[in-house]
Amino acid sequence: MEMGLLLTSLWLGILTSISPCPLTTNITAISYIGQKVGKPYYVLLSGIFYTLGRTALYTILGLALSLSFSSIPLVSQFLQNNMPYVVAPALILVGLMILDIIKIKLPKFGLKEDSQKNMEKQGLIGAFLLGIFFALALCPVSAALFLGNLIQTKGNVFSLILYGIGTGLPVLVLAFILAFSIKNIVKVYSKIVLFEKWARKITGWVFVIGGVYYLVTTLGFGLNILSWFTLLADFIVYNIFALESGTHLAEALHFFIEDVSKIFFLLTAMTTAVSFFRSKLNPEKVRQYLEGKPKWLAYIMAVLLGAITPFCSCSSIPLFIGFVEAGIPFGVTMAFLITSPMINEIAILVFASAVGGQLAFVYVITGMSIGLIGGILLEKLGMEKYVEGYVYDIRMGKQNIAENGISTFDERLAYAWSYAKGIIKKIWLYIIIGIGVGAFLHGYVPEEFFAKYASADNFFAVPLAVIMGIPLYSNATGVIPIAEALLGKGVPIGTVLAMMMSVVAISLPEMIILRKVLKVRLLAYFTIFLFISFVVVGYLYNLIF
């Protein structure tokens, strides 16, 4: 046993003794021990017995825990095979608990008042029992420290004993002070409280950093966070479920687990980050930017802003009316309406992580071009007359054009976080379904199937993919796993992109909403234009790539 590890155990024990809730029990213990202030050696002896009590309990508890783990064959075998996988996350978890970042409620092993009083009458044995019972009062922080010690020493007896001694040591020291000089006791206590605060913080971070270091060194986790999700899926599929690599089920499950963990992680992180920086941008602002700009500039700005502005489909009507009312040309408004749902900055980031930045870039440029051409074309064809007449009669209130009411850093952060939560609540089902379909394609549908029906040689593959995408409606993020699986099966890029755009941009619910401001004829042209352009895009990219 290394000296360093033993010292760590002692240190963790001391830290336990002065963490908030054992500290209160220790204060009680000292007031009990201090009753016999007149007899210095007796006080000291009580302190020792109290410490022994604590030591006994922690040692037995620790041994019992580690023995029970190793005596259950399944558990011990699992731990042996997967020790690094368990230790590293456990270290991080314990560190976070020590830091009070993760709060876990434990049942309280409290002492009843009367039994506590009973024990106080019984002298040294009482001190010993008090030690045992107070040691049972594990609260989250001390439980975390106890488990931390158990994990890092793998249940070594000496470290358990040292840990126990550590938890009683401050009481012992105070008993000593009490016994021989009573003057400084208050001062010492206030110092301990301050010391504990810092010592606990440092120890917590040491655990977290140690855990991360362990992950990186022993498991070869790179700093590339995306590869972690592959490792996680490897671990769950091949270690926990013990599936054989290469089987249909293993492949599908692996795809599912990796994509669920990865996409939800990325979605949360990126939505929060993006909406933090974007919290000042809203459709009202876009309207102001576009108002009164020369037409060519307005078009370009419309597709750019369309790509980065979030707007929920339930806002497309007020948005449309607001634009028209501000005198923004019809074509520019349509360009914005086409681009905005098709290019979703967060989905693009997730897409880039799944299939590479180059393809994501191609998608963005294509989406913007379709929006631009669509806007110009619909205007040139004189489609404006098919806008419902009442739209032009609406006068928007000017005096109230509002800021959305976010200004300080905290407000922006709160906005970003609640926005991210709202988004996930709204689209999680689409994503799960998308990943499920992707996982099925990945695991169960053989490549030959796609080679036969969806290869570039098949002339009908592209239009069919687009037509299939029309009734299907999903959020942009939900389509990505399907696209990922299809690309993995060798389906040509153009076909996949065409299908993706069709699923995202043409949807029945959106059409029904837009029907309120656009006449059926215009909606039909709108859909036909999108259909043709997606098909063209499909053929074009199948040719190029």
Partner 1 sequence: MKKVVVLGSENCVTCTNLKDKIAKMVSDKNIPAEVSKVTDIVEVMKYGVMSVPGLVIDGQVKCSGRIPSDKELNSWLA
Binding residues for partner 1 (CB under 8 A):
282-284, 287, 311-312, 314-315, 317-319, 321-322, 325, 390, 394-402, 404-406, 414-415, 418-419, 422, 509, 513, 516
When the beta carbons of 336 and 541 are compared against partner 1, the nearer one is: 336
Identify the residue whose tokens are 């033993």: 6
How many other C-beta atoms are found inside a 10 Å radius of the C-beta of residue 168? Answer: 30
Least Å distance, CB 420 to partner 1, is 12
Least Å distance, CB 471 to partner 1, is 18
When the beta carbons of 319 and 387 are compared against partner 1, the nearer one is: 319
Residue by residue, what is the 3-state secondary structure of 235-262?
HHHHHHCCCCCCCHHHHHHHHHHHHHHH
Least Å distance, CB 417 to partner 1, is 10
How many other C-beta atoms are found inside a 10 Å radius of the C-beta of residue 316? Answer: 20
C-alpha 476/C-alpha 224 separation (Å) is 25
C-alpha 111/C-alpha 137 separation (Å) is 8
Region class of 281: left (phi > 0), else alpha (psi between -120 and 50), else beta: beta
Least Å distance, CB 283 to partner 1, is 4
When the beta carbons of 321 and 437 are compared against partner 1, the nearer one is: 321
What does residue 20 show for φ and ψ, rounded to 5 degrees?
Answer: -45, -55
When the beta carbons of 112 and 395 are compared against partner 1, the nearer one is: 395
Least Å distance, CB 326 to partner 1, is 10
When the beta carbons of 224 and 400 are compared against partner 1, the nearer one is: 400
Least Å distance, CB 289 to partner 1, is 13
Task: Report DSSP letters for 105-117, one per residue.
Answer: -----PPPHHHHH
End-to-end CA distance of the chain: 61
When the beta carbons of 187 and 395 are compared against partner 1, the nearer one is: 395
Specify the amino acid at residue 390.
Y
Supply the DSSP symbol for 238: I
- In this structure, what is the dihedral angle of CA atoms 261, 262, 265, 267, given to the nearest 10 degrees? -120
How many other C-beta atoms are found inside a 10 Å radius of the C-beta of residue 402? Answer: 8
When the beta carbons of 284 and 345 are compared against partner 1, the nearer one is: 284
Supply the DSSP symbol for 314: G
What does residue 258 show for φ and ψ, rounded to 5 degrees?
Answer: -60, -45
Overall size of the chain counted in residues: 545
When the beta carbons of 321 and 372 are compared against partner 1, the nearer one is: 321
C-alpha 521/C-alpha 387 separation (Å) is 10
The distance of Cα 381 from the centroid of its chain, to the nearest Å, equals: 47
When the beta carbons of 68 and 404 are compared against partner 1, the nearer one is: 404
Least Å distance, CB 405 to partner 1, is 4
Residues 6+ apart with CB under 8 A from 111: 133, 134, 137
Least Å distance, CB 200 to partner 1, is 30
Any bridge partners for residue 518, and if so which?
Answer: 387
Helices (H) and strands (E) in the chain, counts: 24, 0
Least Å distance, CB 323 to partner 1, is 8
Least Å distance, CB 401 to partner 1, is 4
Task: Report DSSP letters for 488-499, one per residue.
Answer: HTT--HHHHHHH
When the beta carbons of 365 and 512 are compared against partner 1, the nearer one is: 512
When the beta carbons of 237 and 423 are compared against partner 1, the nearer one is: 423
Nearest to 470 by CA among 519, 512, 540, 527: 527
Least Å distance, CB 475 to partner 1, is 15
When the beta carbons of 322 and 538 are compared against partner 1, the nearer one is: 322
Least Å distance, CB 389 to partner 1, is 13
Region class of 508: left (phi > 0), else alpha (psi between -120 and 50), else beta: alpha
Least Å distance, CB 391 to partner 1, is 9
Tokens of 348: 């693009």
When the beta carbons of 274 and 487 are compared against partner 1, the nearer one is: 274
Supply the DSSP symbol for 292: T
Contact by Cβ (8 Å): 273, 452: no
C-alpha 366/C-alpha 534 separation (Å) is 9
Contact by Cβ (8 Å): 138, 107: no
Least Å distance, CB 501 to partner 1, is 24
What does residue 39 show for φ and ψ, rounded to 5 degrees?
Answer: -115, 90
When the beta carbons of 121 and 395 are compared against partner 1, the nearer one is: 395
